[in-house]
Amino acid sequence: DNKTHLGREKADRATRDQVLDKRTEAIIEHMVRKELISELQGVISTGKEANVYAAPLYTYDDETGTQTGTHYRAAKIYKTSILSFVDRERYITGEHRFRNGGHKGNNRKMVKKWAEKEFRNLQRLNRAGLACPYPIQLKANVLLMEFLGDGQGHAYPRLRDVELEGVDDNDIAQQWRQLYIQLLGLVRRLYHVCRLVHADLSEYNILYHEHVLYLIDVSQSVGHDHPQTFDFLRMDLHNIGAFFRRKGVDTLRDRTVFEFVTSSSGGTQHADDPVADAAAAAEAVEQLYAARPTPSQGADEKADTEAMAALEVDNEVFRTQYIPQSLHQIYDEGMVARGDGPVGGVEALHAKDSLYRNLLAGDKKSDADAEEDDEDGGADVHDHDGG
Ligand code: ADP
Ligand code: MG
């Protein structure tokens, strides 16, 4: 069969260039045979843990056999053990402990777990109507998903690389501000509806196209039951704030944004309607802006500089401040007694800081939902084909 042969050739080339191991190669060949893709094309990204390839699927006219179109997909291939994970020089220069498969099996299992996690998290995001790649198929360390890009196989730019176009500087500044607000809404929806924290959110893991932000790279995203959920969330929000400030956006305080994301009031009002949810979130953010002491807009430069410096300090304090990581931790009185936790126990927390109140309120809707999610999402992981 000519198609398969072509795919095979290209897969071989990719193998040579990017060192796919034999099993990964076999998975790709299988996907070609199943006509999920026609070949692995150019590498879009080479990362520490994974490479991402554009994978076109060609369509042919049944009668004539001529190619009628190309539909792109993206293949994220997690690197497995020996050939790419392990520093190859060390391997070549005689450290042979991996050669007999010592860690090979375990690495494979570990990598498979990550790929599976990313697949399931993408399903969760999709179910919540968040913009992200649609997951198509998962086989071991190969995740096939919707390609976010144009019809020629060019991926949408990462937010980091975006150059917005507008009629003037003010227009562009407004667009950046809108993207900032959009993203805060996404993070909130991710938190309340998917019950996830991205945990590696930055301008590198967001793609942009026509005013829409797409979340990607969710293999490390964690549920509310993870002991470090709130640390990851603070880190995510810190990264976002820093990025948009560099773009000239007048950002809200990290603390304010954290409250906005975790607050249960309004967070799930529009669980079934992503558009209404985005609008409600944008409105809520505008209210947070309105509630702030207004900057002088350049009229008083000294005051503005001081306000900026105060903001930086506040963000830094918030970043390093103790936040209970889970309900269990708050209620672990042993911890409080040992002096490991906040002084004054739960009651004091309630009274002191609305932040904790939000967290407590939000946590009452137990993680049972999330687990259910995983079950129905997990059942068809291996042969899910969204087409
Ligand atoms: P890594 O773990 O290596 O960071 P990512 O999931 O972030 O992997 O993907 C790396 C890069 O590949 C992204 O920055 C993006 O440019 C590109 N990419 C990933 N997924 C897709 C996709 N579905 N469509 C288009 N490009 C993608
Ligand atoms: Mg990434």
> Which part of the chain has CATH 3.30.200.20?
2-152
2-152 has which fold?
Phosphorylase Kinase; domain 1 (3.30.200)
Q: What are phi and psi of 58, to 5 degrees?
A: -85, 140
Model pLDDT, residue 197: 97
State which residues have CB under 5 angstroms from ligand 2, the bound ion. Answer: 205, 217
Residue 250 has pLDDT above 50, yes or no: yes
Model pLDDT, residue 126: 97
If you measure from the C-alpha of residue 104 to the centroid of ligand 1, how many angstroms do you get, rounded to a whole number? 25
Q: Are 345 and 336 in contact (CB under 8 A)?
A: yes
The pLDDT tens digits for 185-200 are: 999 999 999 999 999 9
The pLDDT tens digits for 93-125 are: 333 333 434 444 567 888 899 999 999 999 999
If you measure from the C-alpha of residue 221 to the centroid of ligand 1, how many angstroms do you get, rounded to a whole number? 15
Model pLDDT, residue 80: 80
> Which part of the chain has CATH 1.10.510.10?
159-319
**Which of these ranges, 10-19, 90-99, 179-188, 206-215, has the smallest mean pLDDT?**
90-99
Q: Which ligand is nearest the CA of 118, by number? A: 1
Model pLDDT, residue 16: 47
Q: What percent of the chain has pLDDT over 70?
A: 69
The pLDDT tens digits for 227-246 are: 889 999 999 999 999 999 99
Residue 344 has pLDDT above 50, yes or no: no
CATH number of 159-319: 1.10.510.10
Q: Residue 111, SS3?
A: helix
Q: Are 252 and 230 in contact (CB under 8 A)?
A: no
What would the mean pLDDT of 344-371 be, rounded to a whole number? 42
**Residues in the chain, how many?**
387
**CA 171 – CA 158 distance, rounded (Å):** 21
